[in-house]
Amino acid sequence: MTLIQSPADVFAAVQKVKAGASAFCTNFFPVESKLQGWIARQELSVEPAAGAVFIFRNDRDFRHLYFCAANPGALEQGMAALPDLKTMRLATDLVGKDSTLDPLLAALEKNGFRRHLRLQRLARIDRPETAGNGPAAGFAEKADCPAILELIESSFDRYGEQLPLPYEMEAAIAGRQALTVKRDDELAGMLFFETQGKASTVRFWAVAEKFRARGVGSALMHQYFQIHAAVKRFTLWVDARNENAIQKYRHYGYAPDGLIDHVLVNEMIPA
């Protein structure tokens, strides 16, 4: 496994597999701005195989596994030859419409991965009026970072939900991408979003347990929609089993749009 030093290395490795591939498959769709950060922090490594390449990204106590393969067969074989499968905790994502992912799911499951989480993408199709008479939500400050991270880590699955690392959260706060509601200097709830052009996505929306049912969540959503009045497309990912969350999002006009994200983990991650 080699540490990746530049974006060019990444693209070269991917191109090599793509060239002449019969049924190229991949789950690696790096967002350029984030890619730079991962490489700068030496979080990205690469491991080539025959007809495939595997990319690892460091996270808390595990790594994300990305692959590019000439076809599902090459994926399966390449993976079988990976020594890291037995030594590292790995989580991987497969995003698509349900049925198209079957060959890739099979390849992963044959190599000791099991389904861990299923996320659903929701898109906002309705625009119901939101109530603006709750507690005020404001932009997060740098000092809020630890509390926000704690809330996110305790509310969401770390293997499946792409939790931000401290430096990412700090950058998001500095970029005014996080809203908070505070009660007596304590963090009651937060909403972390990403917006570009006319599209915005909610990364995380959570209310601390002791502050629930007090309008904190709706205050955050209301403020989120207020500052995004010009946005045309709202999306977000939610754990498909979390009926509670899905119901809440439906209340704001969101509905599933058919895109699914299967999160799989290997045997090194305990059930």
> Which residues sit at the interface with other proteins, rule CB under 8 A?
29-33, 35, 194, 196-199, 230, 232-233
Q: Smallest gap, in angstroms, from Cβ of residue 18 to other proteins? A: 9
- Residue 227 is classified by DSSP as H
Query: For residues 134 and 218, is the Cβ–Cβ distance under 8 A?
Result: yes
Q: Which is nearer to other proteins, 84 or 93 (CB)?
A: 93
Distance separating alpha carbons of residues 72 and 98, to the nearest angstrom: 16
Q: Smallest gap, in angstroms, from Cβ of residue 169 to other proteins? A: 18
Q: Which is nearer to other proteins, 31 or 174 (CB)?
A: 31
Q: Which is nearer to other proteins, 83 or 197 (CB)?
A: 197
Token pair 């070269």 is at which residue? 12
Give Cα 184 distance to the centre of its chain: 31
Q: Spell out where the chain has E strands.
A: 2-3, 25-26, 44-49, 52-58, 63-69, 90-97, 114-124, 138-139, 178-183, 186-196, 199-207, 233-239, 254-265
Q: Smallest gap, in angstroms, from Cβ of residue 56 to other proteins? A: 19
Q: Identify the burial level of 127 via C-beta atoms within 10 angstroms of its C-beta, where 0-12 means exposed, 13-18 middle and 19 or more buried.
A: exposed
Q: Which is nearer to other proteins, 154 or 196 (CB)?
A: 196
Contacts 24+ apart (CB under 8 A), 239-248: 239/117, 239/118, 239/119, 239/120, 239/157, 239/160, 239/161, 240/118, 240/119, 240/120, 241/118, 246/120, 246/122, 248/217
Q: Which is nearer to other proteins, 64 or 182 (CB)?
A: 64
Q: Smallest gap, in angstroms, from Cβ of residue 29 to other proteins? A: 7
Distance separating alpha carbons of residues 103 and 107, to the nearest angstrom: 6
Q: Smallest gap, in angstroms, from Cβ of residue 11 to other proteins? A: 8
Q: Which is nearer to other proteins, 48 or 96 (CB)?
A: 96
Backbone angles phi, psi at 207, to 5 degrees: -120, 130
Q: Smallest gap, in angstroms, from Cβ of residue 150 to other proteins? A: 27
Q: Smallest gap, in angstroms, from Cβ of residue 55 to other proteins? A: 15
Distance separating alpha carbons of residues 255 and 47, to the nearest angstrom: 39
Q: Which is nearer to other proteins, 14 or 79 (CB)?
A: 14
